[in-house]
Amino acid sequence: MVRRRVFGSVSVVALALLATGCAPLAMDFRVTLEPTTITVARGAEGEITVSISHLIPIDVVPMPITVEIHDPPDYLTSSELTIPAGIKSDELTFTVAGDAPLGGPTTIEVRASNGMTTKELTFELTVAAAAP
């Protein structure tokens, strides 16, 4: 069994990564969005699942990931999502305005960052008429 000694919130493994110049690898992560194409009615909410994976186990360098829709169209609102260290996925929720233009698809850019590394992804949004 391997034991790790922890100094504050930084483990011996994290210190070794920093000392050997592997810190960028320790900070790197992958992010995916699901679905990558979504249709949302005017005035309704949409949800995209944001999944995170790390190249090095999460407990080595515990950092939350913040996710946001970058430069959304005027008819789209959302709040920043923070995915805590150790959590593999969460839902990014957004609202389409009641007067949003119908149709699409429109490419929506999503940015995910841990403060050291930023990833950019997109999904396609189509706006449908609200149900009567």
105 token code pair: 């698809």
The DSSP 8-state label assigned to residue 100 in this structure reads P
pTM of the model: 0.78
CATH placement of domain 29-128 = 2.60.40.10
Rg over CA atoms, the chain = 18
In this prediction, residue 85 has a pLDDT band, given cuts at 50, 70 and 90, of confident
How many Cβ atoms are within 10 Å of 75's Cβ, its own excluded?
A: 16
pLDDT of residue 121: 97
Cα–Cα dist 18/26, whole Å: 9
pLDDT of residue 7: 44
Residue range 21-33: mean pLDDT, rounded: 72
- For the chain, the average pLDDT equals 84
Q: Where are the domains of the chain?
A: 29-128
Are the beta carbons of 27 and 117 closer than 8 angstroms? yes
pLDDT of residue 131: 83
